[in-house]
């Protein structure tokens, strides 16, 4: 794989800890590539919850899952998802994470920025991103990981990235391991932060 393909690194590092039957969350479903990766890793007995504010993004995610033999559920209830295995798609802001998902999360993925090919104004934003990540960190189980891909090139992306970096690099080292992966010879390339809650 090309060395600088940051999203692929995020997948590899999450796949390493995910097991069949796990619970995983995609905070930014977009075109569904990350959601499908999680769904494949947790298998038919696992649960994946994917958020996006745009109906168009969730439709693309649902299509991707369906093409891979999944039956995604558009979760329209105003309550937590059930214990039943499945891929639950939620149209709304990821700051509602705790309303829909309980503890014992094995993995959280957040691929920031805007929907590829979509409206660049509909981008993730610093305050909601940080709040959703805080909730995700609280819900992770021991050994669980959160992977955040930051795109500093778009408007507001650099500031959002700085806030995410501050949040994750401030986690206490007795309880967390945190990795920061950057493309060393390109200043506006995406970069990755991965936090693992120690066993
Ligand atoms: C870079 S894309 C995600 C790419 C995606 N994970 C994939 O695999 O194709 C970012 C997505 O975040 C969504 N988004 C922006 N703000 C959000 C929010 N507050 N809550 C949930 N999703 C949000 C956008 O609509 C967009 O689809």
Sorted by where each begins, the domain ranges of the chain are 6-197
115 lines ligand 1 (CB under 6 A): yes
Instruction: Quote the pLDDT of residue 108.
Output: 98
How confident is the model at residue 96, as a pLDDT? 98
CA-to-CA distance for 171 and 138, rounded, in angstroms? 12
The hierarchical CATH code for the domain 6-197 is 3.40.50.150
CA of 51 to the centre of ligand 1 (A): 8
Query: Does 154 have pLDDT greater than 90?
Result: no
Ligand 1 atom closest to the CA of 113, numbered from 1:
1
124 alpha carbon to ligand 1 midpoint, in Å?
Answer: 6
Distance between Cα 57 and ligand 1 center (Å) = 8
Of the two residues 136 and 117, the one the predictor is more confident about is 136
**Ligand 1 and 52: CB distance under 6 A:** yes
* pLDDT beyond 90 at 4: yes
Average confidence score pLDDT of the chain: 96
> Which pLDDT score, from 0 to 100, does residue 121 have?
85
If you compute the radius of gyration of the chain from its CA atoms, what whole number of angstroms results?
15
* Band of pLDDT at residue 120, cut at 50, 70 and 90: confident
The residues, ordered by sequence, that sit 6+ positions from 35 with a Cβ below 8 Å of its Cβ are: 26, 29, 48, 50, 61, 64, 65, 87
Quick one: tokens of 102? 């309980």
How far, in Å, CA of 49 to CA of 139, rounded? 13
Q: Tell how strand 73-74 and strand 86-91 pair up.
A: parallel
Give yes or no for residue 106 CB within 6 A of ligand 1: no
Confidence bin at 114 (pLDDT 50/70/90): very high
CB-based contact 144:107 (threshold 8 Å)? yes
| 33 Cβ below 6 A of ligand 1 | yes
Q: Is the model's pLDDT at 117 over the cut of 90?
A: no
The long-range contacts involving 173-179, CB below 8 angstroms and separated by at least 24 positions, are 174/198, 179/13
Asked if 20 contacts 46 with a C-beta cutoff of 8 angstroms, the reply is yes
- 72-81, long-range: CB within 8 Å, 24+ apart, which pairs? 75/49, 75/100, 81/47, 81/49
User: Does the Cβ of 93 fall within 6 Å of ligand 1?
Assistant: yes
Pairing relationship of beta strands 176-181 and 191-197 according to DSSP bridges: antiparallel
pLDDT exceeding 90 applies to what percent of the chain? 92
Which residues fall within 8 angstroms of residue 67, CB to CB, at 6 or more apart?
none
Burial (CB < 10 A; 0-12, 13-18, 19+), residue 127, is exposed
């Amino acid at each position: 794989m090309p060395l600088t393909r940051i999203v692929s690194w995020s997948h590899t590092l999450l796949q390493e800890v995910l097991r069949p039957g796990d619970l995983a969350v995609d905070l930014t479903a977009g075109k569904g590539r990350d959601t499908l990766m999680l769904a494949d890793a947790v298998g038919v007995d696992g649960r994946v919850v994917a958020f996006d504010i745009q109906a168009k993004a969730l439709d693309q995610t649902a299509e991707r899952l369906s093409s891979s033999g999944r039956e995604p559920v558009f979760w329209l209830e105003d309550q937590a998802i059930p214990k039943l295995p499945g891929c639950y798609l939620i149209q709304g802001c990821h700051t509602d994470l705790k309303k829909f998902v309980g503890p014992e999360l094995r993995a959280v993925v957040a691929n920031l920025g805007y929907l590829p090919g979509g409206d660049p104004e509909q981008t993730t934003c610093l305050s909601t991103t940080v709040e959703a990540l805080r909730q995700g960190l609280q819900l992770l189980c021991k050994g669980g990981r959160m992977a955040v891909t930051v795109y500093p090139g778009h408007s507001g992306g650099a500031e959002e990235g700085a806030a995410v970096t501050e949040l994750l690099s401030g986690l206490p080292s007795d309880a967390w391991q945190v990795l920061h992966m950057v493309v060393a010879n390109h200043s506006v390339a995406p970069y990755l932060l991965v936090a693992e809650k120690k066993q």
